Amino acid sequence: MPVSPILERQTTYPFVRLNEAAQRVRERGVEVFDFGMGDPREPTDPKIRQALVDGLRDRMGYPTAVGLPELREAIAGWAARRFGTTLDPDTEIIPTLGSKEAIFSFALAVVDADGARDTVAYTDPGYPVYERGALFAHARPLALPLREEHGFLPELDAIDDETWARLAVFWINYPNNPTGATAPLAFYEQLAALAREHGFVIASDEAYTELWFDDPPASALQLADRTNIVAFNTLSKRSSMTGYRSGFAAGDPALIAALKAFRPTVGTAPQEFVQRASVVAWGDEAHVAETRERYRRKRALFLQLFERKGVRIAGSEATMYVWAAVPDGESSESFAGRLLEHGILIAPGSYLGDAGVGYFRVALVPSEEDCARAVEILERAL
Ligand SMILES: Cc1ncc(COP(=O)(O)O)c(C=O)c1O
């Protein structure tokens, strides 16, 4: 049977391995608290659910790739309120089916792998989809390590001229999964100047901009000059809508035009009833503020526990993740294995990239009650 060699070379998606290990522990009768994957288990706001139901009609035709004008206007309105930025709903925004598919296929739309610009850079540890999208587009993947001593920002000064010249896409992701680090606007400004100078695209994955605890994080959309810049955002984390699949790409009109040309072939326009629900979700901040408060309380439980136990917290400024150093003498995987024996499933940092070795990630997705029960278990296990 013909199978893509790229697919054959691909290792199992790390979370599949993690869930298999958890299943084996469950089969032994141990209750497992799942802090592994970042799939929020918070309920979706009733107004949003109702809008989805109301959006169902006798016949639902094919949705168009550019989406409903109401949805693009709702996104532009949100971006204006949140980032003080003006986006033209017709030329600077396109809806996506969640953001994962759009992130995966972005390299296919913009990279000329046979040309001089064949490289897609992304940060490590990180979301695995940037690299996989690059590989399937036959681009050259380049992992840039995120180091704690550098605030979990990529070291731009360490990139040589040859690499800049070959760079097609530079993926950044702040607030960052998995480290929870944020990036100041000055970082976006510095990278945007380099993108203009060297002619590469900045793809800014902003899935976690709304899960913050101190100051609202910056966005690439705040830059006055958005040449070569596209930002991806999503309702998945902000509005606990992972199952709806609704997000958007916004930025440089030339890049949005490329996506408008590419995406109808892929067939990734969100269903119209999902778009209707999304209009309501982007238009409301009250449910987002409540969600943030819930994460804030859950996060405090873990930060206090780790402080009491001498576990060193790193990054962890925003997002639904706590990123911390594994205790001395243990590896990321042995530590995760030990906690799993107690019924606590966390992600070893090594599963999230080579530079994640020595760390672990807690996704604050179980209910507050389950978080409190898990903290009690960890109180004894750590
Ligand atoms: C960094 C990052 N980007 C993008 C996504 C994709 O989210 P979605 O496809 O649900 O919008 C995730 C999901 O976990 C993520 O962690």
Average confidence score pLDDT of the chain:
96
- pLDDT at position 314 is 97
What's the token pair of residue 165? 């010249």
Whether residue 280 contacts residue 51, with contact meaning beta carbons closer than 8 Å, is answered with yes
Which ligand 1 atom minimizes the distance to the CA of 235? 11
- Cα–Cα distances in angstroms (integers) from residue 174 to residues 123, 184, 372, in the given order: 11, 9, 28
- Alpha-carbon distances, residue 315 vs 11, 329, 352, 353 (angstroms): 28, 21, 15, 16
- Counting from 1 in the atom list of ligand 1, the atom nearest the Cα of 205 is 3
Query: Which protein residues are within 6 Å of ligand 1, measured from CB?
Result: 38, 98-100, 103, 127, 173, 177, 205, 207, 234, 236, 242, 247
- Which pLDDT tens digit goes with each residue over 218-240? 999 999 999 999 999 999 999 99
C-beta of residue 174 within 8 angstroms of C-beta of residue 231: no
Atom index in ligand 1 nearest the CA of residue 102 equals 9
**Burial (CB count <10 Å: 0-12, 13-18, 19+), residue 330:** middle
Digit-coded pLDDT (tens) for 28-87: 999 999 999 888 888 899 999 999 999 999 999 999 999 999 999 999 999 999 999 999
- Per-residue confidence (pLDDT) for residue 42, from 0 to 100: 84
Question: What is the arithmetic mean of pLDDT over 105-121?
Answer: 94
> Distance between CA atoms of 232 and 109, rounded to whole angstroms?
15
Give the mutation target among 234, 235, 245 for probing the ligand 1 site: most ligand atoms within 8 A of CB: 234
Classify residue 67 as left (phi > 0), alpha (psi -120 to 50) or beta: left
Model-level pTM? 0.96
- CB count in 10 Å sphere of residue 294: 17
Q: Are strands 229-234 and 201-205 parallel, antiparallel or unpaired?
A: parallel
- The CA distance from 331 to 360, in Å, is 10
User: Going by C-beta distance under 8 Å and a sequence separation of 6 or more, which residues neighbour residue 57?
Assistant: none
287-330 pLDDT, tens digit each: 999 999 999 999 999 999 999 999 999 999 999 999 999 999 99
Q: What is the mean pLDDT of residues 243-262?
A: 98
